[in-house]
Amino acid sequence: MSAAHIEPFRVRAGVGEIEDLRARLRATRWPDAPEDAGWSLGVDLGYLRELVTYWAEEFDWPAQEAALARLPRFRSRGLAFLHQRAAGPVLPLVLCHGWPDSSWRYEKVLPLLTDPGAHGADPADVFDVVVPDMPGFGHSDRPRGAPLDSIAVAGLFAELMTVLGYDRFGVAGGDIGSSVSRFLALDHPDRVVAVHRMEASMPVDLGAADLTAEERAWLDTAAAWKSGEGAYADLHRTKPQTAAVGLTDSPAGLAAWVVEKLRSWSDCDGDVEKSFTRDEILTLLTRYWLTGTIGSSMRMYAANAAIPADQHARKVEVPSGFARFPGDTLHPPRAWLERTANVVRLTDLERGGHFAPYEEPELYARELREFFRPYRGTGDQRIGLPPVTGTTAPEM
């Protein structure tokens, strides 16, 4: 086995980057919009203008950098990741994000999982938590060649857990992270003790002739959702580089592309700032801007579209749990989930949407604690953990 270097890192803007960002925001060339269009044709230009003005004139990036520095961030083999260890016997847990986000999705939930006793929960429900940025997202390296699909990313995450000294672990995810979680359980069932997913990703043709009426109704609902909301995914899948030019050059354009989804997919009753503060939205956007990863994050859709159909039909035998949040995009029925997973838990939550770990961190943490409780075993799941500050660790 060779050696993998694990080093801490901080999220920092380079010299002049924030001033360049502010200058671009102030110089935005705005499109026209029909009177009273609101959000009906995409982003509400009135709201976006206010957000861009705040981003340019008032948003305090240094304060956000200081807050981000309080979380334990590391890099190894091109992957950036959060890694919070806890005291006592733990269950290691990998959290897998989606689009249009990064490890940002789980930053609020991290302390709730690694120190449950300090947040009114059972101290025995403690996790060591690893939250990687997928390649091409956040602060991880962008793939140099073809974009990676969920199968390849799952393999990288399994290798990362070996590097960090974890033999067996739990997995949870949503959006693209749901697919990555699924393939971790499919391809590494000897290591994944259980897998929790927020949804089953977009439906695919499983060639099943025995669909229930509830399943057929759900497929009709999913098709209607795709027709009304799914144009972004078709563009990501087919022509991501075309959109990437404008979104990488214009921070206002980047904000429009991402904020419209934050609003549409969250449990916010049409007001995005009921789910996210302006500073939270702009911290996500500024990180996208500084890393230049909007294009590489979109390209993963093209890679996933090429996954063979037989991979989607494989059944996850690892114990699987699913959480349905009311504001999420799609709510597959249990019968559909049971076609490709060993479903042991299906929970309908009272609040939250597609970004539930960020919108409702307490509810999401409670759901994970309860789901993984039977799979903890009797001892510490960590094996020979190396130190993590400027050191080396075993590499696959």
| 76's tokens | 């190894």
Q: How far apart are CA 215 and CA 335, in angstroms?
A: 7
Q: Any idea which residue has 């993963």 for tokens?
A: 300
Q: What angle do CA 255, 257, 258 make, to 5 degrees?
A: 65
Q: How far apart are CA 41 and CA 60, in angstroms?
A: 31
Residues 6+ apart with CB under 8 A from 235: 242, 243, 298
| 294's tokens | 């909007």
User: Known catalytic residue: 301?
Assistant: yes
Catalytic member of 47, 139, 354, 364: 354
Catalytic member of 133, 175, 267, 328: 175
Catalytic member of 106, 301, 358, 364: 301
Closest C-alpha to 311, from 152, 103, 171, 172:
152
Q: How far apart are CA 316 and CA 167, in angstroms?
A: 19
User: Known catalytic residue: 354?
Assistant: yes
User: Known catalytic residue: 36?
Assistant: no
Do 20 and 251 contact (CB within 8 A), yes or no? no
Report, as residue numbers or ranges, the catalytic residues: 175, 301, 354
